[in-house]
Structure 1
Amino acid sequence: MNLTKKMLLGSVLAYSLSIIHVQAQIEDKRGILEKGAELVKVQDGFSFTEGPAVNRFGDVFFTDQPNNKIYKWNAISNEVSLFKDEAGRSNGMYFMLDGNLLTCADEDNQLWSIDSDGDVQILISAFKGKKLNGPNDLWVRPKGGLFFTDPLYVRPYWEGIRGKEMEQDGEHVYFLSEDRAELFRVAEDLVKPNGIVGSPDGKYLYVADIGDKKTYKYEIREDGYLTNKELFCEMGSDGMTIDSRGNLYLTGDGVTVFDRKGEKIAHIPVPAKWTANVVFGSLDRKTLFITAMDAVYTLRMKTQGVW
């Protein structure tokens, strides 16, 4: 169905009143989906959707990175509206409790904080005087401080030597302290770290090494350093999320769910060549919000996301 999209700031995107239900064979061994749940296409017409982040009201903000925009999905009205243009080519995002939106703004290899009015504060612009590769995804731990991944994906909007020569000595995982005074590496032995999320209790960190098709689990020390690395599953991931039971949701070929022991318990096919990211939205945190190529989808769950 071809619909005209309104792309002006603050305007609401046109969307189909007859929401498209995507029929698919969903594998669900533990009954984590709501009974009778169907994958619903909320909106299409984007270039590449990424970075879903949920605010305290259950609304989900997501990016259309090639078009340099951040959109908002209203959990009550099911409407999509433009939140910010010229969004720094934001990728992964995360909401702070104060309402500020943290984003991996890889147009200039930075980490941003965006307030409710769309005003930007640059949190990180370099590491030891050199540009980062391009912050990709991040997670804020309950005790404060945040972790982010820094793989290299050469962007067509980078000019000159950028993208041709990596300024850092590899693709790593970093920790930024709560007071923003300390920035240091916490994982330096991965091929291409991408998706990242922590356990609800803040004790463990999961990092997807998409370059090596593996996901690892670490213990988080009080100071932010990581210890006791162990293989969680033989699958990498783009973005990912976790529910209140500790189940991990990985993306790429649809959404694949693993329990806290690393056993595969569900697979949710998505009608797209690539599923980039996922988060729990709605006020009850039982709506799985999925970004996949040119569209965004929702799926009602029995399991619940983490506040």
Structure 2
Amino acid sequence: MSSSIFRPGFLLVGLVATAGFTLVASAVRAQVKPNDGLVAGEVAPKLVAQQFKFTEGPAVDKAGNVYFTDQPNDKIWKYSTDGKLSVFLEKSGRANGLYFDKQGNLLACADEQNQLWSIAPDGKVTVLLQDVQGHRFNGPNDLWIHPTSQAIYFTDPYYQRDYWTRKAPDPNIGGQKLYYLPKGQKQPQVADDQLQQPNGIIGTPDGRQLYVADIKANKTYRYQIGTDGKLTNRQLFVEQGSDGMTIDNQGNVYLTGKGVTIYNSAGQKIQHIPVPAEWTGNVCFGGKDRKTLFITASESVFVLPMQVKGVQ
């Protein structure tokens, strides 16, 4: 998830005003070359809308609808499977990273007050976490929920926000860490305290491995997840950091930043998707068949048809 606000320096054409937001009829020019059967043909990401200030945190529900944040404007939006945009939640706690639990609640890294939220389908908010050992978090950023244990893994980097009154992190929290919260517990446990600035996070659908980006170190690591939820065997996955990330049904990992870069499970780069924005914040798979790559990029959101499917 992102550290600051970027503005894309590109020109798009074919704008059509519809229901209070801007749609784009034509695809952007930068095309993606097919590679290993990932992208569905020689196409380019299609702009859905660019009415936002900075988009982030896409997450998909059971039906395939994608929810994403416009953090500076303090809103969570919904992009439905029929291509319609609507506001899901105003006053979202400056939500950043999002993820759905098995009960259909939308969990959010709400860093206005440095909290983790659970948002029910009707929009009712429950605060899950607001401190650790009596100290304020740096600013929860991105999260992933284990498919079996339902433990919550989340990153807590420090990025100064203009809506905060504080100007420095709590020195008593002791760094920028990766945490996990076992189901039913009220205090998180430290999963890794040896990262410079942990950011994007995603796990495998079997619940055995976790990928975490250290964006400041420009590295992404892979961990083994034990039956007790603890992480072991941290290994360097690739020499590239990432903002948000996702994974497909072939085990490929999608990293963001300058466009979307795809690596196979062995850490080999197999594809790069150009995105016409200064910064690509995050990505997930949506749609009824989970074959639509949904991309949040600066002031815009894009979609790209894929041959592979998402697993989250």
TM-score scaled by length of structure 1: 0.93
Structure 2 equivalent of residue 286 of structure 1? 291
Structure 2 equivalent of residue 14 of structure 1? 21
User: Contact 1:28 / 1:267 at 8 angstroms: preserved in 2?
Assistant: no
Structure 2 equivalent of residue 39 of structure 1? 45
Q: Which segments of structure 1 move beyond 6 Å, counting only runs of 4 or more?
A: 1-5
| Inter-partner Cα distance in structure 1 for 2:176 and 2:35 | 35
Q: Could you tell which deviates more after superposition, 224-233 or 165-174?
A: 165-174
Give CA deviations for 1:76-101 in whole Å, capped at 9, x if unaligned.
1x111111110000000001121100
| Inter-partner Cα distance in structure 1 for 2:169 and 2:224 | 35
| Inter-partner Cα distance in structure 2 for 1:145 and 1:164 | 26
Identity %: 48
Structure 1 equivalent of residue 120 of structure 2? 115
Structure 2 equivalent of residue 61 of structure 1? 67
Change (3 A) 1:38 1:4: closer
| Inter-partner Cα distance in structure 1 for 2:78 and 2:234 | 36
Matches within 5 A, 1:264-303: 264-303=269-308
Matches within 5 A, 1:1-307: 13-16=20-23, 19-76=25-82, 78-143=83-148, 144-159=150-165, 161-163=166-168, 165-307=170-312
| Secondary structure of the structure 1 residue equivalent to 2:27 | strand
User: Contact 2:243 / 2:257 at 8 angstroms: preserved in 1?
Assistant: yes
User: Contact 1:243 / 1:306 at 8 angstroms: preserved in 2?
Assistant: yes
User: Contact 1:238 / 1:276 at 8 angstroms: preserved in 2?
Assistant: yes
- Read off the aligned partner of 1:64 and give its amino acid letter: D
- Read off the aligned partner of 2:223 and give its amino acid letter: Y
Q: CA deviation at 1:223?
A: 1.1
Q: CA deviation at 1:167?
A: 4.4
User: Contact 2:32 / 2:42 at 8 angstroms: preserved in 1?
Assistant: no
Q: CA deviation at 1:168?
A: 1.4
Q: Which runs of 5+ in 2 are unaligned?
A: 1-12
Q: Which runs of 5+ in 1 are unaligned?
A: 6-11
| Secondary structure of the structure 2 residue equivalent to 1:245 | coil
| Secondary structure of the structure 2 residue equivalent to 1:21 | coil
Give CA deviations for 1:109-156 in whole Å, capped at 9, x if unaligned.
000000111110000000010000000000011112110000000000
Give CA deviations for 1:160-179 in whole Å, capped at 9, x if unaligned.
x3535544110000001111
| Secondary structure of the structure 1 residue equivalent to 2:21 | coil
User: Contact 2:71 / 2:96 at 8 angstroms: preserved in 1?
Assistant: yes
